[in-house]
Structure 1
Amino acid sequence: MRLFERAEAVRASAPLRWGLAAGAFAVALATRFAVDHLLPAGFPYLTFFPAVILTTFFAGTRPGLACAAACGLSAWFWFIAPFESFAVNPFVLVALGFYVCIIWVDVVLIHVLHAAVIELKEEKVRSNALLESQKLLLADQKERERQRRILQRELSHRMKNTLAMVQAVVSQSLRNASDPAKAAELASARIMALARAQDALTATSWSAAEVVDIVEASVAPHDEGGRFEISGPSVRLEAQRSLGLALAIHELATNATKYGALSNTSGFVSIRWDLSGSDGFRFVWAESGGPAIGEPPRSGFGSRLTLRVVPNYFAGSAIADYARDGLTYTLTGTRGSPEAEESGH
């Protein structure tokens, strides 16, 4: 293959191609003159055939044909009787016909040979490209399979978490209610609150949800006439914290509708949150303008949910201040990170 590579290098340069053709012709002619006295009659082309063949192989078809024409005319003029003339007779025609046939066969064979080598190289390039494409497809298939397994584990994890939370909501609602119908209503409302939070999480592929989205989705069923003021920076909560916060807001809004600021026409609720340090999070629900309230005589599931269960999700604590003007609920803890949650699956 090195010969073919060298031939390609010569063919790529016009000066080299035509220089080789001229040089090969000159060497062939000089050699023919040098050995003329050693050769018997009938060998006019002996040194010219190799020149044409080498020129065609290394320089290409056109330089090869040019060299063949120069060699043929030189042999006709100097080495075919009558010498030093371009006389035409049967002997000359036979000699020239023989020369043309041999040269034509040589040139065609060399051209076909080079074309076959070029086709072989192109086929090798195509094969390498196909192999590379197959490798990429295989790698893509493996990556898709890996992603599918990850999604399956993720779905299983999310379903387990959601079912566990639903189970806790239902069991606690039934345990603390004397009326089965009332218990079913409470459980249904709390599950709907979870569903709204899940909608916010679904929009971000369950990686995290913005606090403002959770708050707005949770208070939407209770917001009549702009009774809520919502403010806070952009904060993304991981899935478990998002669901917990949604449940807490649902309980607070339900109690406000029954007993607090949303039970009359003049009450108002301020919802705000802020950050502290690298991971600190504080959420405040503050009611005003409602009827006078006091601390409930007994602690139900709603109170335990907002003061104990939800703070655990945030690795923090919560307090409820039953002031005369309205309830203020403050949740402090950490906001967590989606990356930490994913690595723990």
Structure 2
Amino acid sequence: MNPDLFRRPPFGYGLAICIWLTALGIRMALADWFPPGFPYLTFFPAVVVVAYFAGLWPAILTAVLSGLSAWWFWIGAPGFDWSLATGMALAFYVFVIAVDIFFIIGMNSATDNLRREVARNAALAESRDLLLKEVQHRVSNNIQVVSALLRLEAGMSKDPAARRALSDASARTAMIANVQRSLLDADGAAAPFDDLARRLVCDALNAAGRTDVAVVVEEARHALTADEATPVVLILLECVNNALEHAFPDRPGRIHVRLYEQGAERRLEVRDDGAGPPPGFDPAKGRSLGLRIVLGLTDQLHGRFSIVDAAPGALCVLSYPKPAAH
């Protein structure tokens, strides 16, 4: 039953009269069963119920009607007895009823305040989520604008090396915008790694026009934190692009992606079945921009990155400390 329904004056006073009549009827029906000295036995619960459901003034009305009924029928001589004993019994009744009403009205007030606070916090949380989504959207759009400007500048450049550098920068900036847009799912929750990886790797393959490469992403429902999501996904995409360019540039291939936890670390593994790295290859000594980006992002994660021969193919491994649980 909703207490708010009876806190409107007509309903509250109507409830008070109905409850009082019910308590009076029960008291009269059980009069022969009760020993002397229990005039208020059914009236105390009536006042408590009305105070809870209807509020202060209907409770006072119920208390007055109940007290007069008990005084008339069951305290002292029939009628309104004015003896000292009757006065003490009425004083006891008033004290108990006042205490009951005080605590019940106080409890209702605290409950109402808590309900309003919960509603306010829910509204603030919804507003915060909307603001976060809006910021996420605007950041992604701004990065996309930067990517478009770099692409435009590359188209206007006459130097092949500068054109290639600007095109690579545009592609990587667009990749960052795509990652930023994909960090949150439709409900605003952090996207699990496997869903995020499948979506972004598919976009990378489509952008490269490689329909002959199969990518398998193992199930990993780890929700990446904001601090790790962008560097981890960018490292993943650099490894995929590196495989497309060097492992099987002109033949079909397969890429296997796995993210798992090992003790206090998270490990990202990207394995391909291509040509494999040259003997003695050390990523730290690589001169390509992609490897320098990967190593910089690895430092940001306080982790380690390596590329080893997987026979066949190459295995890229990123290890970094597992973020603290929130």
Q: Normalising to structure 2: TM-score of the pair?
A: 0.52
SS at match of 2:32: helix
Deviations 1:231-257 (A, max 9, x none): 365433212212112211222222333
Kept after mapping to 1: 8 A contact 2:220/2:259: yes
Q: Is the CA contact (8 Å cut-off) linking 2:178 and 2:200 kept in structure 1?
A: yes
Q: How is 1:171-190 mapped onto 2 (pairs within 5 angstroms)?
A: 179=161, 181-190=163-172
Aligned residue in 2 for 1:230: 217
CA spacing shift, 1:166–1:199, aligned 2, 3 Å: closer
SS in 2 for 1:236: coil
Q: Distance in 1 between matches of 2:306 and 2:148?
A: 24
Q: Does 1:247 align with 2:229?
A: no
CA 1:323–1:17: 2 relative to 1, 3 Å: closer
CA distance in 2, matches of 1:313, 1:161: 21
CA deviations over 1:46-104 (Å, ceiling 9, x no partner): xxxxxxxxxx853657x99xx69xxxxxxxxxxxxxxxxxxxxxxxxxxxxxxxxxx9x
Does the 8 Å CA contact 1:280/1:335 hold for their aligned counterparts? yes
Deviation at 1:282?
Answer: 1.6
SS for the counterpart of 2:251 is coil
Aligned with residue 15 of structure 1, among 14, 29, 32: 32
User: Which of 53, 58, 67 matches 2:70?
Assistant: 58
1:146 and 1:197, CA in 2 relative to 1: closer, same or farther beyond 3 A? same
Percent identity of equivalent pairs: 15
Aligned to 1:26: none
Match of 1:87 in 2: none
Quick one: which amino acid aligns to residue 32 of structure 2? P
Cα distance change on mapping 1:299 and 1:239 into 2, 3 Å: same
Alignment of 1:255-274 (within 5 A): 255-261=242-248, 263-274=249-260
Q: 5+ unaligned residues in a row in structure 2: which ranges?
A: 1-22, 38-67, 81-93, 154-158
Shift of 1:182: 3.8
Give the length in aligned residue pairs. 242
Q: Which residue pairs with 1:135 in the alignment?
A: 113
Q: 1:281 aligns with which of 244, 262, 266?
A: 266
Structure 1 unaligned blocks of 5 or more: 1-6, 21-55, 69-102, 104-116, 340-345
Please tell me the root mean square deviation across aligned C-alpha atoms, in Å. 5.4
Q: 1:310 to 1:290 in 2, by over 3 A?
A: same
> Residue in 2 aligned with 1:213?
195
* SS of residue matched to 2:269: strand
Q: Matches of 1:335 and 1:206 in 2, distance apart?
A: 23
1:235–1:57 CA distance, 2 compared to 1 (3 A): closer
Once the two structures are superposed, what CA deviation does each residue of 1:115-157 show, in whole Å capped at 9, x if it has no partner?
xx9xx99998996687346423542365357647976997899
Once the two structures are overlaid, the 10-residue window that deviates more, 318-327 or 234-243, is: 318-327
Partner of 1:313: 300
**Contact 1:282–1:331 at 8 Å: present in 2 too?**
yes
Any residues of structure 2 matched to 1:118-197 within 5 Å, and which? Answer: 131-132=109-110, 134-140=112-118, 143-144=121-122, 147=125, 179=161, 181-197=163-179
Q: Deviations 1:174-220 (Å, cap 9, x if unpaired)?
A: 9xx96555445433432343344345431287764422123212211
Task: Find the residue that maps to 1:202 and give its secondary structure.
Answer: coil
In 2, Cα distance between the equivalents of 1:274 and 1:203?
21
